[in-house]
Amino acid sequence: YGGMAPQTGSTEKEAKPISDFPQHLTWEEIKIHNGRGQSQQQWLVIDRNVYDVSTFSKQHPGGSRVISHYAGQDATDAFVAFHNDKALVRKYLKSLLIGELAPDQPSFESNKKSLLEDFRELRCTVEKMGLLKPNYTFFFMIFLHLLVLDAASWLMIWYFGISLVPFLIQMGWFQHDLGHCSVFRKPKWNHLLQIIVINILKGLPASWWNHLHNQHHAKPNCFRKDPDLNMHPLLFSLGKTLSVEVSVGASGQC
C-alpha cells in the first residue's frame, strides 16, 4: 500500500453508487402503491419527496392506519398538521426516502389542486391570527373550573347517590384540547395532563381516544376511514352526497 495515492477526479465520480442519485417517479407509479391489490407497498409524498412507509407504518407512533390512509397520495399537509417537531421527524424520514417527483410532475394530485390551495390559504390566515398559539390563562381557567365541577359531582354522589352521567360529560372538551396538544407548547405536557384527566379522573384510555380522533382528522367525513362517521353515521354525515353514500354502504375514495 505504501506510496499509492488514492484515486481522485473522474474515477471517483464513476465509482459513486447509482442509488445515491434521486429516482424520479410519476403520480401514476405512486398511486398504485396504495397498500391495496397485489402490491402491498405503501408510498406517499411529502414536499415532492417519495417515501416507502410499507414497513414503517407498523411502527408509526400515531398508529399504522393514520399513515396508511395516505398511501399512494400526497401527505404534505397532513405531515405539517400532525408533527410539531418537524426537524426531528425528518431525521426518521431519511431512511424511508426512495425518490422524488419527476420535474414534470405537479406537487400534488391534479384533482386536489383547488382544495389544497384553499386549505393552505386558510392555514396561513389562521397562523397569522395566532390561533395556533396556546393560551395558558384560558386553559388554566378551564382546568380550574372543571376541578370545581368535579368536586361538586363528588358532593352530588355523596348526597344523592351514584350516577354515571356527570362522569361522562365533564372534562370531555378539555381532554379533547389536550389531545390536540393545544394547551401547552410541548406535546409531552399535553399528553401527561390528558392521561390525568381522561384515564385517572374519567376511567377511559387516552390512547384509544387519540387513535380514533387522529384518524378522524386525517380523513374527516370519509366513509370507512373516519371512525366518528362509522360509529355515528346519522349524527356526523353532513350533506346529501355523503348521506346517500353512508346509507347505501358504498366505499368512497378520499
pLDDT value at residue 223: 73
Cell of 38: 397485489
pLDDT 10s per residue in the chain (254 long)?
A: 334 444 444 443 343 344 455 689 999 999 999 988 766 899 999 999 999 999 999 999 888 889 999 999 999 999 998 998 888 888 889 999 999 999 999 998 888 888 888 999 999 999 999 988 888 999 999 999 989 988 887 787 787 666 566 566 667 778 888 988 888 889 899 999 999 888 887 778 888 888 888 898 898 877 778 887 776 665 565 555 555 555 555 445 56
Q: 29: alpha, beta or left, given left = phi > 0 and alpha = psi -120 to 50?
A: alpha
Kindly list the distances between the CA atom of residue 252 and the CA atoms of 45, 179, 225, in Å, as whole numbers in the listed order: 21, 28, 9
pLDDT value at residue 154: 79
pLDDT value at residue 241: 54
pLDDT value at residue 247: 57
pLDDT value at residue 12: 39
pLDDT value at residue 104: 93
pTM, two decimal places: 0.56
What is the phi/psi pair of residue 224, to 5°?
A: 75, 0
